[in-house]
Structure 1
Amino acid sequence: MKHNKSMNSLTSFAGTHTRRAASPVCPTCLRPLLKSYVSSGCQMKFLFIFVLLGSVACTSLDAEKNDVESNFFVGIQNDVLVYEGSITKSSNLAIFQALKKSKEKPKRLIISSPGGEIGAGMDLGEWIHSNKLNIEIKNLCLSSCANYVLPAANIKYLHKDTILMWHGSAWQKQWDTTNSDESFYSSYLPKMRKREAAFYRRIGVDNLITVYGHNEMTIWDKLRSLFGNDLIGWDYSLDDLERFGISKIILIDNHWNWREYQPKARNAIKRITLKKNYSFMLHRFET
């Protein structure tokens, strides 16, 4: 993997992760893990909250917030696009406008996100793809960020401690739809599935990547929750990401092993290995 000098334009990821109540489609899927970090470059302590989702069968469908999350920056910083926090329509609009108004058009987006609503995730991914942006993932890229932002980028820069996590998508089979109205199945889900299939076809990635882990969970994985060790998602090796169609990944630190640097999250995310008989396919899921 090619070595590239780390960018220091994003030196803190601080504040409280503020949210409205979760959508009734997924009422219990947020579990916060809190960790303090010390930046070796500037010796500044900073705090960031990353949200890990509470079930591998539960994709974020959270209600939209009116404003960009407080204490998270979205815009241009040191001539680089920066996107912190959940993926929302408001944050998307802020980053879209920042690029549009900028005289010098940045080609790199630095992002750290726990994900967000499926449609907002695809909005951001489509924008990244159409603008041929490179992305640098600082800290984490989970759920809709891993589904739609990571694969849409031109070049993907990872740090040694960057957490990637998948846990489902519009095409997953199981949903917690407690108290949801009928429009979820009759309108929202068919629309998102059709759009997601077209999205992955456009970027040349097998959309099996978003749900492959569901069939690889063992009875022991499911029993872990009885002991308070919930498994909340999965990740893949770089070689397997390439088999799915995600290429042009550059390791800023010359290696990527986030489990070594993020021990509190290590046991919550399972490493899934693609079977030898896996065969790449576009148009795998279509309506």
Structure 2
Amino acid sequence: MLRISVAFLFAVFASAVNAEVIINSDGNIEYSGSITEENNNKVFTLYSNAELKPKRLIISSLGGHVDYGMQLGEWLLANQLAVEIGDYCMSSCANYVFLAGTEKILGKYSFIGFHGGLLQRAVLPFKDQQYLKAVTKLTATCDLVLFDRTYKAQLAFPFSGSRLRECALMQATGVDYKILLAGQYEKYRVDILQLDVWSYDLEALAALGVKSIKLKDGEWLPPKALGEQSIFYFNAAEITFLNGQVGVNFEDM
């Protein structure tokens, strides 16, 4: 069977190619398109020049380079802005921008899609419970020296200088690092393989430490499929299962 990857999603969300960064009539910053250094600088300039500072970033993006995703997330944390998801927020947008908002505002049909992080294994799926436990502990410690003694040679990005930056950002958001990797665990990989993207329902997000979620329209009804391919959403029971595998409850850390 043909594997439909993230590249397929670029075609589905074709409007993402038209990048735009503006301040709208409500005084909020709207960001559509790829997360790039150029687009980020537009955000920073608009904010710096605004007499009345925007309180919210409204974003629709398939993501972009991890460093620019983290740059935007760090800026959001430093300036204490809320994040509102437009149509979609995927990859580095989901990992680093959505999670960094002081409030995370979801439209009725907003889609948030995850598909990995800088500590993911080179060979997938993984089934090593000790690795999952080590990743969970990193949320609290960011001790990559200890982590690398066992896992560096097994990682997809073993020499990335951005790994500590990613861990520090996750730590600052207070979100369990497993949110970036859960869909690569063996138990769930068959359900996720076709799209190579997964998401979480509201209870699962809460169980992973994602706080201050607001529903703009009073409910959240994200898409259940793209074309004929179902999107896998983790629920709270699956997060409880993953916590049980590592013997660590993130909420108790």
Q: TM-score range by the shorter chain?
A: 0.7 to 0.9
State the TM-score, normalizing by the size of structure 2: 0.74
CA distance in 2, matches of 1:246, 1:95: 24
2:138 aligned partner: none
One-letter amino acid of the structure 2 residue matched with residue 235 of structure 1 = S
CA separation of 1:118 and 1:218: change in aligned 2, threshold 3 A: same
The residue that corresponds to 1:72 in the other structure is 19
Give the letter for the 2:82 counterpart: N
The partner residue of 1:246 within 210, 221, 233 is 210
Residue-pair matches, total: 208
CA distance in structure 1 between the partners assigned to 2:21 and 2:122 by the alignment: 33
Deviations 1:177-221 (A, max 9, x none): xxxxxxx9564x1x1111111111122111111001110555643
Aligned: 1:30 with 2:13:
no
Residues 201 and 185 (structure 1 numbering): CA distance in 2 closer, same or farther, change over 3 Å?
closer
Q: TM-score scaled by structure 1?
A: 0.65
Say whether the 8 Å CA contact 1:201–1:282 is kept in structure 2. no
SS of 2:70's partner is helix
Q: Over residues 85-134 of structure 1, what are the superposed CA-to-partner deviations in whole Å (9 max), with x where a residue is unaligned? A: 01111111111111001111010111000011111110000001111101
- 1:202 partnered with 2:164: no
Verify the 8 A CA contact 2:65 2:92 in the aligned structure 1: yes
Distance across 2 between alignment mates of 1:219 and 1:76: 40
Q: Which one of 57, 60, 63 corresponds to residue 115 of structure 1?
A: 63
2:221 maps to 257
- Unaligned regions of 5+ residues in structure 1, if any? 1-27, 36-47, 51-68, 177-183, 225-229
* Distance (Å, rounded) in 2 between the aligned partners of 1:219 and 1:121: 25
Could you say what secondary structure the match of 1:250 adopts?
strand
Query: Helix, strand or coil: the match of 1:151?
Result: helix
Match of 1:221 among 188, 191, 198: 191
1:269 aligns with 2:231: yes
For residues 242-261 of structure 1, give each alpha carbon's deviation from its aligned partner in whole angstroms, at most 9, with x where no partner exists.
1111111111111111126x
User: Does the CA-based 8 Å contact 2:119-2:157 persist in structure 1?
Assistant: no
Match of 2:182 in 1: 212
Is residue 204–residue 239 contact of structure 2 (8 Å, CA) maintained in 1?
Answer: no
**2-structure distance, mates of 1:219, 1:211:** 11
Tell me if structure 1 keeps the 8 A contact 2:6–2:196.
no
Q: Over aligned residues, Cα RMSD in angstroms?
A: 2.6
Deviations 1:124-175 (Å, cap 9, x if unpaired)? 0000111110111110000111100111001111011101110001111127
1:20-42 CA-to-partner distances (Å, cap 9, x unmatched) read: xxxxxxxx85223347xxxxxxx
Flag the 1:81–1:220 CA change in 2: closer, same or farther, 3 A: closer
How much has 1:270 moved relative to structure 2?
1.1
In structure 2, the residue corresponding to 1:253 is in which secondary structure?
coil
1 CA distance for matches of 2:169 and 2:228? 30
1: CA distance, partners of 2:44 / 2:123? 31
- Show CA shifts across 1:229-280 (max 9, x none): x2221001111111111111111111111126xx535735211233425211
SS in 2 for 1:115: coil
**Does structure 1 retain, via aligned residues, the 8 Å contact 2:208–2:239?**
no
Go from structure 1 to structure 2 and tell me whether the alpha carbon gap of 1:186 and 1:96 turns closer, same or farther (over 3 Å shift).
same
CA distance in structure 1 between the aligned counterparts of 2:252 and 2:72, rounded to whole angstroms: 21
